[in-house]
């Protein structure tokens, strides 16, 4: 079964600092999808990105960027010039294409950005 590890339980930074959230995954499948979700203090879960296992190109969206490295089984998320509104719990998740297993979420990383 697939597994997702987010080793950082909590991170605290000061506004405008860059911060990287780590995600390490385990899978035996060659075709799989990785996701990041954001859960702000208001509680809803917001989809951020999906990446398939055949696309190792880094993705940038504004201040957000994602670094996918199959060699280290990692899919890290970097926020550049963090803002208070970035404070949230961030979840990494994995789905395997050939498995009937459901999407597996990591435990989440709570990011606090202080003014």
Partner 1 sequence: DAGVIQSPRHEVTEMGQEVTLRCKPISGHDYLFWYRQTMMRGLELLIYFNNNVPIDDSGMPEDRFSAKMPNASFSTLKIQPSEPRDSAVYFCASSLGRLQPQHFGDGTRLSIL
CA dihedral sign, ordered 32, 33, 34, 40: negative
Give residue for tokens 């899919």. Answer: 75
Element (H, E) at 93: strand 88-96
Give me the least distance between CB of 41 and partner 1, in Å please. Answer: 13
For residues 44 and 115, which CB has a smaller minimum distance to partner 1 in the complex?
44
From 16, 83, 102, 114, residue interacting with partner 1 (rule: CB under 8 A): 102
Give dist(CA 51, CA 88) in Å, integer. Answer: 21
- Decide if residue 25 touches partner 1 (CB under 8 A): no
Q: Which two tokens stand for residue 5?
A: 């590890």
- Decide if residue 76 touches partner 1 (CB under 8 A): no
- Decide if residue 103 touches partner 1 (CB under 8 A): yes
- Judged by the rule CB under 8 A, the positions of this chain that interact with partner 1 are 33, 35, 37, 43-47, 50, 91, 95, 97, 100, 102-103, 105, 107-108
């Amino acid at each position: 079964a697939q597994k997702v590890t987010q080793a950082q339980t909590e991170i605290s930074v000061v506004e405008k600092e860059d911060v990287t959230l780590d995600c390490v995954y385990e899978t035996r499948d060659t075709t799989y999808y990785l996701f990041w979700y954001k859960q702000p203090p208001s509680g809803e879960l917001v989809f951020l990105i999906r990446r398939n296992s055949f696309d190792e190109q880094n993705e940038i969206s504004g201040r957000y960027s994602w670094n996918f490295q199959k060699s280290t089984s990692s899919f890290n998320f970097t926020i550049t010039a963090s803002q208070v509104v970035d404070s949230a719990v961030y979840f990494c998740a994995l789905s395997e294409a050939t498995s009937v297993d459901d999407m597996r979420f990591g435990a989440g990383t709570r990011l606090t950005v202080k003014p």
